[in-house]
Chains A and B, each alone.
Chain A
Amino acid sequence: MTDETVSKAVRISPHLSTDGQGFKQLMEAALAWLQRHQAVINALNVYPVPDGDTGTNMVLTMQSAWTEIKDSPERSVGRIVHQMAHGALMGARGNSGVILSQIWRGFARSLDGKEVYRAQDLAAACREATTTAYKGVVKPVEGTILTVARAIADAATRAVEETEDLVRILEHMVFAAHEAVMLTPSLLPVLAEAGVVDAGGQGLFVILEGMLRYMRGEQVAEDGQLVQSVDLITTGLEPGEIGYGYDVQFLILGQELDMDAIRQKIVEMGECPLIVGTPDTVKVHVHVSDPGVPLSYGASLGSLRDVVVEDMQAQYKDFIVNSELSRSTSSQISQEIGVIAVVLGDGLARVFQSLGVGAIVHGGQTMNPSTQDLLDAIEKLPAKQAILLPNNGNVIPTAEQARALSTKPVAVVPTRSIPQGIAALLAVNYQADFETNVAAMAEAMEEIETGEVTTATRSATINGLEIADGQIIGLHDGELKVTGTTVEQVVCALLKEMNQTQREIITLYYGDTVSESDANALADLLQQEWPDQEVEVVAGGQPHYLYVLSVE
């Protein structure tokens, strides 16, 4: 979330070969990732027949391929791929499914008899896959999955001249696939008219992206089960959860540029990093939430050329909106949903920003924002619909008032704490419509339990607990539950109160009066106490509360 806590996959050694079992895992990841994107791909489907089933057909085809190999102990990649291709053929559904099965058929033929595949084998297999796919039609139509397949094969062929690392090569392939998909509307007018990219091409891109995510140790399946652990280490947040953010590309012109150092740095910054070039020209591509970070870094090394920054969220939404519009004008469309969060503290504001919040209104405990503050934020928000996250019980009535007064459609997801707000924000799906999002956010918010630790400002008796002025007190979901003389004591008692053994992640947001080393020391203590849970520390910078805790 903050710079300290976001760390990305750290690669240890290059991945030089893939055997049958390795490929099996790639297929599983590809299928899982494709399933997650099925609805989006369906929505893109306008060619050849706009029946909105491309995603479903590709998933069913991949499922059939996967079923064929999922229990196979086969170690030879040639045989596994052959079985998989057979499965794809037998289960091919729809136009895109048939093409996909031909792609796998060519891929399999090229790997026939191989125990493992290496860089050159992969490139050859991709070329054969493309050739086979093109053979299946008299008049190949460009701007479809075929075009994307060819771009992938070309990229693989070029990549193997530079590296033998299969992860790198796959990065190039995914990058090329993405570019080819983006170009499909310029090749196929019907796509441009509908304002979409080709659905099948997008599907193929997603399949490769799923494989790449797996190889990089990023999350693929929704339950987070499918994570590579062999030669990759992942820690921290899943970058994919943050959303799309910006697609940043630029060239660095300089002298004796250190590609490895640049790569390492860029990989830390965001998703889908791609760093290629020579010591005096380096091409950088990365998906980040803040485009300024990679750009400033690049500028510190040399002069920048061909800077392209694209808002992927907007692009994506445009596609969805247009394709929905072309089909039905009555259905609810998720056009430009913006989220407004009420947050106190710079650190927490940064956390919300990194998660893609549309606007932040400063306020919270003892500093409630006015209805006008919220209204202003709603009106200024460049979105048609706004979702408010009050993040404090006292702010909810104000938010409701703002909702009633606004001219835009506004929903209030009644988050009572910062952790609830974060959970709700993570549940936002910009491809889904307004109601679905509000429901999903409200549900996600319930999954989180919040603890707050602060110092009593007066003596009182609440909930049968006697509190003295200056004592440390702990609240669980807004209710006073524990008191004590030391912070550690209260935090531990509070976590016990929160029944946290059932949960997986403890997050500590430390306040403006707490030092980072104190927070880390407390985190270490908690980690010893609860070795099975993951403890994360985030600089919240909130006033009043020494610590805000969340367990999920």
Chain B
Amino acid sequence: MPEVQYWGRIEVSPTAIASIANEAVLTCYGVVGTAAKGLAAGIVNVLSRDSKRGIEVRIEDGRIIIDVYVIIEYGTRIAAVALSVMNVVKFSVERALGIPVTEVNVHVEGLRVSDTD
């Protein structure tokens, strides 16, 4: 998305934004992976560290809208984790770019069960 400056322009591509968001999501407690949209739970890339498949960035009318598709650890409070994903993504992207993020939508694509109790 272009930001007009006096001596030129800085453009940040949605892919770059996705990278920032991806990093943020993966340090977010409770998220054990991102998943490409709509994939069946069996073939999601649960531990994808550098893939940005689970992040979709759209620019609509100059507003940044980010959709994240995540796998969450079974046994955590999903609502709380999702809320914290929203906060962390919004904060990280805004801190890096200085441009407000309008929406962060969290899609829980699956749960990873590492322990049952």
Q: A residues touching B (Cβ–Cβ < 8 Å)?
A: 48-51, 89-95, 97-99, 101-102, 105, 108-109, 112, 132, 135-139, 141
Contacts and interface: CB of A to CB of B under 8 A. Distances in A.
B27 A141 contact: yes
Nearest to A131: B115
B33 to A, nearest CB: 6
A102 B87 contact: no
Interface residues of B, number: 25
Contacts, number: 78
Contact of B26 (A105, A108, A138): A138
Contacts of B91: 48-50
Given A48-B28, A138-B32, A97 B80 contact: yes
B49 interface: yes
Contacts of B117: 105, 108-109, 112
5 contacts: A92-B76, A98-B29, A135-B32, A136-B76, A137-B27
A48 B88 CA distance: 7
Nearest to A137: B29
B84 interface: yes
A198 B83 CA distance: 20
A62 B81 CA distance: 17
Sorted from nearest, which 9 A-B pairs have the closest CB atoms? A92-B77, A49-B91, A136-B73, A138-B26, A95-B84, A92-B80, A109-B117, A49-B87, A139-B27
Contacts of A99: 29
Nearest to B48: A138
Interface of B: 24, 26-33, 47, 49, 73, 75-77, 80-81, 83-84, 87-88, 91, 114-115, 117
Contact of B115 (A93, A94, A132): A132
Nearest to A200: B29
A137 B80 contact: no
Nearest to A51: B87
A127 to B, nearest CB: 14
Given A49-B88, A109-B115, A101 B76 contact: yes
A102 B33 contact: no
B73 A135 contact: yes
B111 to A, nearest CB: 12
Nearest to B87: A49
A50 B115 CA distance: 32
